Chain A
Amino acid sequence: MRLVIKEDYNDVSEWAAKYITKKINDFKPGPDKHFVLGLPTGGTPLGMYKKLIEFHNDGKVSFKYVKTFNMDEYVDIPKDHPQSYHYYMWNNFFRKIDILPSNVFIPDGNAQDLQAECDKYEQKMSEFGGVDLFVGGIGPDGHIAFNEPGSSLASRTRVKTLAQDTLRANARFFDNDIERVPKKALSVGVGTVMDSKEVMILVTGSEKAFALYKAVEEGINHMWTVSAFQQHPHTVIVCDEDATLELRVKTVKYFKALPDVVDLTELYADNVDAPQERYDKFKTFY
């Protein structure tokens, strides 16, 4: 496991976006070779999406040959509901980049047979050769996706009943009415994410500090599902200074002394149009 400690939220967002950009470009995706990317929702990755859009607009990365799989979606919530993850992804990311709708996968929480939908989701992931990079965030209780404390670390995509804590936390998005918060969600399992070739987890803010400590310094425990990634051969946790508050000085010093995982200064890749070329395509009539 690697822990990358950046100064603040913005640095974390930028670093994560650069990392994804580099991974996509190094992969050299094409019509017959898609990069498969797992994506989270929530407050933490917003800055990362903003940066990715910026890089996309600057011609540093293209999502034309990228397939995306989202971690989760509420059950029984319309796709255009402002709290649905379909809405989140469309408005915060997809509509601003060049991704093709046929390459986007989000679990359908309105499916007739929810478990069949989950199985289909897993099957699609493996059809495309598995996920190349799964990006995630965590909750203060160390959950990843909707794998609430106590979830099996071998779990696959399935219907999850949300913990009371999560319902209470989410009520603010539903006019503070806990009755209106969806009680169930479809979520990839810990095992699903474990199967991806690489995992990147974003952790920011002091309220996540205890969860980060549990993930990094304590043992693997299904009450802190994110700790499972200690077993993954390629996990990067990106956090800000605030999130390290519960870590030992020794741990922080160790990870800070390591050289940066990859050189993220050279972002331009051959498969992306140079910015000028891209802008020429967008000539306007005014």
Chain B
Amino acid sequence: MFFLNTQEVQSSSENVPGVQQSPEGQEEYNIDIPQEDIITKFWNCRILKHHKLVQEDLYVRNGIIIDSEQLFYSEKRTPHFDVDCKGMIVAPGLIDLQINGGFGYDFSYYKDTELAVKTVSKKLLAHGVTSFCPTVVTSPYYIYHDILPKIKRQKGGRHGAAVLGVHAEGPFINKEKKGAHPEKFITDHKGTMLSIKEAYGAGYENICILTLAPELRHSDQIIRKLKKDGIVVSLGHSMANLSQSESAVKHGASFITHLFNAMLSFHHRDPGLIGLLTSDQVDLDKLFYGIISDGIHTHPCALRIAYKAHPNGLVLITDALSALGLTDGRHKIGQMDIEIKGGIAFVAGTNTLCGSVTSLLECVKFFHKASGCSMEFALECASLHPAKVLHIEKNKGTLNVGADADFIILNDYFDLISTWIGGDMVYKSGN
């Protein structure tokens, strides 16, 4: 919670605005009640549940959303604390599957990895992100060996958003679609897991998403093996044609990295990776794609095409840079210099886009406006859908009973009011 212990709240409830004991609590509620037993009720809110905003209360105990009806009838208990949400929207905490860094820190830079994760995870709370996948771009092996073990999975809390695992973007990608990745470190896995483990080293176990180009030789068997290890294989930075892409998905790939960017443009005779969105050869229920809806990386028209073609696979990502939250000027991404001009990030001295500086909540807002979809759907594209990619939709990205109480409170204009992890308020907007 956002208080330290029960006693403190008991004695000074006036000092903790927004929290008040229910009337019966004052009589029956024992001061020795264990912290994990405390039940908080969030009321006067619209909850995003089953794809709709419903007028319901949210009950939380020990960081988990509980069934209020069961609590009332079977346990015969009432909440200890009530939080008035003032008619606002309560939505699942946002999940960013691709973020390179932010606030001056870069996960791929050879120094200060722990500090980078710590700082970014803390500051992301102010953007409504409660879980994320730190993304490491193509790097030399010794860098992987150094930094990957330092990016450990961690639970979310007041210290910051949860780290779900590393998104390793490269080095097994296509040099012709390298984007902002340094060409000399792009390599081939030769179809063996040995070369994969050689590249990443001991930090391999921290990886949860791996972006590769499926046209590399023997990719299909590698994809199968990666999937067996519990890694989500994402297709991107690739020149793959449609049949190569479909074959990769049939072998277990389930995600596409920043759709439209760093892949062949749509061609009507060979639609390439993009064609997967309407493929009749793969199970589209299991295929998701990341898309950067910052208004720069993907034109609103392209956003709409993707949305209309395969809405349920749409996952909003930021692909944010170390410059997220910074002003114009020169910054570092991996081993490269980048330059921000007017809110747009370029590889220094070129016109190549290299990731965004827009926060995930702003992406949600832009996507809502550009696609004309419902607010509910826009929010789910950055919560439920990414959770499905990682197969964690029972615990994250949802406000169903049994899920982690990671959520955001926001108004109808997507302005963030507060961020909560495990039922604790971890960020509160200044306004």
Contacts and interface: CB of A to CB of B under 8 A. Distances in A.
Interface of A: 64, 79-80, 86-87, 90-91, 94-95, 98, 100-102, 104, 106, 281-286
Interface string B63-102: 0000111111111111000111010000000000000000
Most chain B CB within 10 A, of A79, A100, A106, A286, is at A286
Interface stretch (B12-20, B145-153, B207-215): B12-20
Contacts of B19: 285
Nearest to A86: B73
A94 B83 CA distance: 18
Most chain A CB within 10 A, of B73, B78, B417, is at B73
A90 B73 contact: yes
B349 interface: no
A201 B23 CA distance: 32
A238 to B, nearest CB: 28
Given A284-B17, A284-B18, A80 B72 contact: no
Contact of A101 (B17, B76, B86, B428): B76
Nearest to A103: B76
B376 interface: no
Nearest to B428: A285
Contacts of B22: 98
A104 B76 CA distance: 9
Interface string B130-160: 0000000000000000000000000000000
Given A284-B84, A286-B417, A80 B69 contact: yes
A286 B86 contact: yes
B72 A90 contact: yes
B36 interface: no
Contact of A64 (B24, B67, B84): B24
A285 B78 CA distance: 21
Interface string B34-75: 000000000000000000000001000000000111111111
B70 A95 contact: no
B360 to A, nearest CB: 22
Given A95-B57, A98-B23, 13 more contacts: A80-B69, A86-B69, A90-B72, A101-B73, A101-B75, A101-B77, A104-B72, A106-B73, A282-B84, A284-B17, A285-B19, A285-B428, A286-B417
11 contacts: A95-B72, A101-B71, A101-B73, A101-B75, A102-B76, A106-B73, A283-B17, A284-B83, A285-B16, A286-B86, A286-B417
Contacts of A283: 17-18, 20
A104 B71 CA distance: 13
Nearest to B20: A281
Given A101-B78, A283-B17, A284-B84, A90 B69 contact: yes
Contacts of B78: 100-101
Given A64-B23, A102-B76, A285-B17, A87 B69 contact: yes
Nearest to B18: A285
A285 B18 CA distance: 4
A102 B24 CA distance: 11
Q: Kindly list the 9 A-B residue pairs having the minimum CB-CB distance in the complex, ordered from nearest.
A: A285-B18, A285-B17, A101-B76, A284-B84, A90-B69, A101-B72, A284-B18, A102-B76, A80-B69
A11 B35 CA distance: 47
Contacts of A102: 76
B163 to A, nearest CB: 28
Contacts of A104: 72-73
Contacts of A284: 17-18, 83-84, 86
Contacts of B69: 79-80, 86-87, 90-91, 95
A286 B72 contact: no
A79 B70 contact: yes
A264 B327 CA distance: 65
Interface size class, chain B: 20 to 34
A286 B73 contact: no
A282 B23 CA distance: 11
Contacts of A282: 20, 82, 84
Contacts of B16: 285
A97 to B, nearest CB: 11
Interface string B252-284: 000000000000000000000000000000000
B417 A79 contact: no
Interface in B190-243: none
A225 B83 CA distance: 46
Contacts of B71: 101
Most chain A CB within 10 A, of B20, B72, B76, is at B72
Nearest to A101: B76
Contacts of B72: 90, 94-95, 101, 104
Nearest to A106: B73
A87 B18 CA distance: 29
A134 to B, nearest CB: 21
Contacts of B73: 79, 86, 90, 101, 104, 106
Contacts of A90: 68-69, 72-73
A92 to B, nearest CB: 12
Nearest to B17: A285
Contacts of B86: 284, 286
A270 B266 CA distance: 74
Nearest to B82: A282
Contact of B24 (A86, A94, A95, A100): A100
B173 to A, nearest CB: 46
B154 to A, nearest CB: 27
A281 B19 CA distance: 10
A106 B76 CA distance: 13
B103 to A, nearest CB: 26
Nearest to A91: B69
A106 B73 CA distance: 9
Nearest to A279: B84
A277 B178 CA distance: 65
Nearest to A84: B69
B18 A286 contact: yes
B50 to A, nearest CB: 12
